Amino acid sequence: MSHIAPNFRKASRDAVLNSQVIAAVRKTANLLSGMMALAVADTPDFEALRDYGRTRKLEISGNLEKYEQSFTANAHAAGAVVHRAKDAAEAARLAIKIAADNGAKTAVKGKSMTAEEVELNEALEAAGITVTETDMGEFIIQLANEKPSHIMAPAIHRSRAQVAELFTDKLGTPPDLSVEALVAAARKDLREKFLAADMGITGGNFAIADTGSIVLVSNEGNIRMTTTLPRIHLAVVGIDKIIPEMADMPKFLALLARSACGQTISSYMSIVTGPRRTGEEEGPEQLHIILLDNGRSRIAKGPYREILHCLHCGACLSHCPVYRAVGGHAYQATYPGPMGSVISPLISGLEIYADLPNACTLCGRCAEVCPVCVPLPDYLRDLRSDVNKPPFTMKLTAFGANTPSLYRLGMIVMRRMLKKGGKGLMAPALKEWMVCREPPKPQEGESFRDWWRTRSHGK
């Protein structure tokens, strides 16, 4: 979303006022985090699994190039065409070329944040290819012409009633349908599109280097349709999704499924290794894999390398007090929440997303729930100091706090000011802070220092 200048301060201020969105986000986030807690409690060795995840991912991100080469060679050997895109624009160009070379006019798409990152839908639509989102949440937001607001539950910001209204408007369904009826309406609408589409587009949850396989999980079955019915399958996969061996996959899957929505495994898992083989009655004739770099190999060499370990489970979003207060759209980035506040500035530039590292209370919940222990709060703090050196007022404050006489004077002034309700010299500096807060009232009567002086010690 580089064409708009993101302004988190403004967007988040607007968002907190939209009580409908916040109520919907909070309701779903609570359910998701509750389901994760149950699944984790039910897994006695979960901490050991997390340790494994972190250690293994450190090894992977330290040898990204090696594993990428190995994946490319093995996927090629299995019959896939592997492309490499150094940035989003190149990925979009490649996708358009693949569609054009094969005369593809319609595509069905499984949920993919990587495709969102390269704005694939917009690029394909501009090239005359109709793309239909088939994940229930993505289908909803495509109808509403919105962006996903959660990496795992993209329509988290919409209530059932709003979805029902949208379906009535766009699909002509009767008003105020139940969740079951809404799902049935989507099933009917999308089934025909699955059967007719020329191309299926997905992301990839894991790419396995030693077999050249793409692993895709979903609960709905749309990914199975997308990877089975159309004659071309295009998978857009970030190079951070590569894991060394098939034997690693069950463990990462266990971490992902529990953290994403409290499952042991998703309803469906497809391990795709090359296109349809001789004699098989199903599967695409061609499998194209676009491996997307878009800054990842640069990040792997820098101080924020562990953000590439992220499994995109969304747990840090659902647990984040800031995300829960403002929702995903306020971040104005493909990836919102704690992981997004780290990865978005790293991919698109700190000057574009300078606000995001500040969209954090440093409470540490994200790091506690992260299935691969990405040190998100540390990264957010470090990114803040990358954004700018401390401003002059903060330097002055630091000097004052380090000089006892000045500090004492400051406290006297502060008490006077607070008695008047925070109006005075400091008011301009505290303006933003006071937008949604009342300044604290100073204690009635004498100050601690006065008290101390008049009692035992002062004399």
- Contact set for other proteins, span 154-193 (CB under 8 A): 154-156, 158-160, 163, 179-180, 182-184, 186-187, 190-191
Question: How near is the Cβ of 89 to other proteins at its closest, in Å?
Answer: 30
**Which one of the spans 96-104, 280-288, 303-311, 447-455 is the region binding other proteins (CB under 8 A)?**
280-288
> Which is nearer to other proteins, 63 or 159 (by Cβ)?
159
Nearer to other proteins, 23 or 396 (CB): 23
Contact status: 133 vs other proteins (CB under 8 A):
no
Applying the rule CB under 8 A, the residues between 372 and 391 that interact with other proteins are none
Residue from 238, 204, 214, 273 nearest 61 by CA: 238
Binding letters toward other proteins, positions 226-265, x by CB under 8 A: -xxx----------------xx-xxx-x-------x-xxx
**Least Cβ distance, residue 224 to other proteins (angstroms):** 5
Taking CB under 8 A as the rule, does residue 147 contact other proteins?
no
Near other proteins by CB under 8 A: residue from 200, 275, 336, 422: 275
Which of residues 33 and 348 has its CB atom nearest to other proteins in the complex?
A: 33
Instruction: Tell the smallest beta-carbon distance from residue 363 to other proteins (Å).
Output: 23
Compare residues 27 and 441 and give the one whose CB is closer to other proteins: 27
Q: Cα–Cα distance between 103 and 202 in angstroms, integer?
A: 19
Check residue 412 for interaction with other proteins (CB under 8 A). Answer: no
Q: How far is the CB of 283 from other proteins (least distance, A)?
A: 6
Question: Using the rule CB under 8 A, is 219 a contact of other proteins?
Answer: yes
Of 337, 369, 208, residue with least CA distance to 273: 208
| End-to-end Cα distance, the chain | 66
Q: CA 214, CA 273: separation in Å to the nearest integer?
A: 7
Closest CA to 256 of 285, 220, 218, 292: 218
Residue 27 sits in the site that holds other proteins (CB under 8 A): yes
Q: How far is the CB of 254 from other proteins (least distance, A)?
A: 9
Q: Which stretch binds other proteins (CB under 8 A): 43-51, 89-97, 134-142, 341-349?
A: 134-142
Does residue 400 interact with other proteins by CB under 8 A? no
Q: Is the dihedral of CA 155, 110, 369, 361 positive or negative?
A: negative
Question: Is residue 221 part of the contact set for other proteins (CB under 8 A)?
Answer: yes
Report if residue 213 touches other proteins, rule: CB under 8 A: yes
Q: Contacts with other proteins in 301-360 (CB under 8 A)?
A: none
Complex with other proteins: residue 246 or 414, whichever CB lies closer: 246
In the complex with other proteins, which residue's Cβ is closer, 224 or 384?
224
Distance CA 66, CA 160 (A): 46
Q: How far is the CB of 303 from other proteins (least distance, A)?
A: 34
Tokens linked to 341: 């506040």
Nearer to other proteins, 48 or 179 (CB): 179
How many residues bind other proteins (CB under 8 A)? The answer is 71
- Based on the shown chain and the rule CB under 8 A, indicate whether residue 140 belongs to the binding site for other proteins: yes
CA pair distance 336, 148, nearest whole angstrom = 9
Among 19, 280, 456, 457, binds other proteins (CB under 8 A): 280
| 318-323 contacts, C-beta under 8 A, 24 or more apart | 318/28, 318/29, 318/32, 318/33, 318/36, 318/150, 319/29, 319/33, 319/365, 319/366, 319/368, 319/369, 320/360, 320/365, 320/366, 321/361, 321/363, 321/365, 322/12, 322/359, 322/360, 322/361, 323/25, 323/29
Residue 441 near other proteins by CB under 8 A: no
Q: Does 91 bind other proteins (CB under 8 A)?
A: no
Residue 268 lies near other proteins (rule: CB under 8 A)? yes
